[in-house]
Structure 1
Amino acid sequence: MELSSNPVFTFGVIADIQYADIDDGFNFHGTRKRYYRSSLQLLCNANRCWDQQLIKPSFILQLGDIIDGFNKKYGASERALQTVVGEFSNYSTRVHHVWGNHEFYNFSRSELCSSVIDSRVHCVRVGDGVMSDDVYAYHFSPAPNFRFVVLDSYDLSIIGREQSSEKYKKSFKLIKANNPNDNLNQPPGYNQWQGRFVKFNGGFSQDQLDWLNKVLISADKKEEKVIIVSHLPLHPLSTDSICLAWNYDKILSILNSHKSVVCVMAGHDHDGGYHLDTSGVHHLTLEGVIETPPDSDAFGTVYVYEDKMVLKGNGRISDRLLMFQ
């Protein structure tokens, strides 16, 4: 795909690194191979590519699951995190970290809020830009007329929340009402979209939805183009149903009511996915590094123009032209 000259800005994107210093293994169901050690080398490949580009990315979006949950079992969570963050730190580009389920397998929410992957420190937290410290959601503008909104898709969750908290109780009630299995990582099988009600997914509180609506109202008035960033995919046609956010329907209703929203970028589904919805919003789910063989790659660079975004993919990730409607 040919690139036009002089993009407004560029950024790198990578998802589901899930690094662990352990031998290769398989997913929960034993059907998909995972390359735990070599995921670090694939991140190194991505960083080297971004660093050598003529137009270096303004920032990197790391879409969640930076290290694997197995690190907790071996007491290696902090060491693994420092290893991956250290690889990012070899290059000067700023990284915006999204939190996924594997972050919460390794750390409590309070630990993450004071960690090196709390990217809110990059932002001026004033006005409608502030979400409560309890919720990892924020927005930033890398260039005039463009805004990125990072969402906390585990705001409602039974991982990462104290069992005594109201959000945990609400989340547990919600998942049990939709999943009769004793093992809540086993999806219910009686409805295609019902499969999203599993322990490794989550959703958005009403407070976060209200905050998002206010941010988008402001973006509409400023005639900005908004890219939504989430670990969990938000459209059922952009992912396997087992990877979908619990209350995707509520957040889609908000996104589709605002002319400013042009794209949603997510991870979690290691196969990736894409859908252009009826409102002209691109829903792009990035393929995961963790299930990418060592002789391939899984990262991309996005070139942003006034009328489009161009994704130049590497390895498993395909090139895409994302025109703004």
Structure 2
Amino acid sequence: MPHEKPLLRFGVIADPQYADLPPWLEMNRYYANSLDKLRQAIGVLNGEDLSFVVTLGDLIDRGWESYDPVLAVYQGLRHESFLMPGNHDFFVAPTQLGDVHKRLGMPAAWHDFARGGFRFVVIDGNEISLFSTPEGHPRHTLAQQRLKTLLAEGAINAKEWNGGISDEQFAWLEAVLARASAADEKVVVMGHYPLYPENEHNLWSAERLTDLFARSGNVIAYLNGHNHVGNLGRAGNTWYVNFKGMVDTEAENTFAVIEVFGDRIEIIGYGREESRTLAL
């Protein structure tokens, strides 16, 4: 149907990971080039009719001083912008760790909002990690314990550069999904870390969330970055879309526009990002 209008359109950016550093050639990461790629992406997205643009973490590679240039580029975005941190956004001085969410203009580390009849949920997979809190902090100690357990279990994602969520955040997420279900709202959850398919980049205890989504039945998609090569999976009613990392490659960009219809999600990929039709 050529004239069918989507219920909602929004933009997606993942892992610009900017820093004024030389490239890491082995990993094909060009940190300094991300500012130009971001400008280009924002130029394209500004020409689109969108409800908002979400950036799925890792705005910077490291260093508090990296925030100024990258956030200055976002000033040129005409749409509402939702930012969230990834693991690299906490590679700053220990005294600055508590200010990261505020620097990104977030109302809270995890939060939800409604747009176009859909419920959007931002989760914080950095909450229980070795990088979001200084040594000696209760959450840091909990992260050490969790990682130790995962390593003992031989978990593929038992990595220092991954993280997890607390029981408190899990209970909040469960309540948000239940409220959305009662209101007959379909849900899109967004975070930095992948949940599915199994991958070394996945959130610690990812299956706890995928089980929750399967039980809830109303989560149509989970969107993330972190694994720069990208990925796609489906479990239950939920599509799991891992967007490619902008920092990778010298000049090729990657970002997307998402259109939500009653029966499908259309991903319009730019640069290295693939275009896809995901049936609901």
* Structure 1 and Structure 2 fold alike (TM over 0.5): yes
Query: How many residues get paired?
Result: 278
Separation (CA, whole Å) in 1 of partners of 2:11 and 2:181 = 26
TM-score, normalised to structure 2, is: 0.94
SS of 1:13 mapped into structure 2: strand
Q: Deviations over 1:199-218 (max 9, x none)?
A: 11000111111110000001
| RMSD of Structure 2 on Structure 1 (CA) | 1.8
TM-score, normalised to structure 1, is: 0.81
SS of 1:65 mapped into structure 2: coil
1:260 aligned residue (205, 214, 218): 218
Separation (CA, whole Å) in 1 of partners of 2:130 and 2:204 = 12
User: Mapping of 1:25-174 within 5 angstroms?
Assistant: 25-26=24-25, 31-53=26-48, 56-69=49-62, 72=63, 77-78=64-65, 80-106=66-92, 108-115=96-103, 117-120=104-107, 136-144=109-117, 146-174=118-146
Structure 1 residue 308, shift from structure 2 partner: 2.0
User: Mapping of 1:208-219 within 5 angstroms?
Assistant: 208-219=169-180
- Structure 2: which amino acid aligns with 1:249? E
Separation (CA, whole Å) in 2 of partners of 1:220 and 1:4 = 30
* Alignment correspondent of 1:235: 196
Q: Deviations over 1:128-185 (max 9, x none)?
A: xxxxx6xx100011112x01100000111111113222221111112123337xxxxx
In structure 1, list runs of 5 or more residues that go unmatched: 121-132, 181-189
* Alignment correspondent of 2:159: 198
SS of 1:34 mapped into structure 2: coil
Structure 1 residue 44, shift from structure 2 partner: 1.1
Separation (CA, whole Å) in 2 of partners of 1:104 and 1:93 = 26
Percent identity among equivalent residues?
A: 26
1:285 aligned residue (239, 242, 252): 242
In structure 2, do the counterparts of structure 1 residues 140 and 3 end up closer, same or farther at CA, with 3 Å as the change threshold? farther
Structure 1 residue 3, shift from structure 2 partner: 6.4
1:12 lines up with 2:11 in the alignment: yes
Structure 1 residue 111, shift from structure 2 partner: 1.1
Structure 1 residue 4, shift from structure 2 partner: 5.1
Separation (CA, whole Å) in 2 of partners of 1:293 and 1:275 = 28
Separation (CA, whole Å) in 1 of partners of 2:167 and 2:24 = 38
- Structure 2: which amino acid aligns with 1:10? R
Any runs of at least 4 consecutive aligned residues in structure 1 with deviations exceeding 6 A, and if so which? none
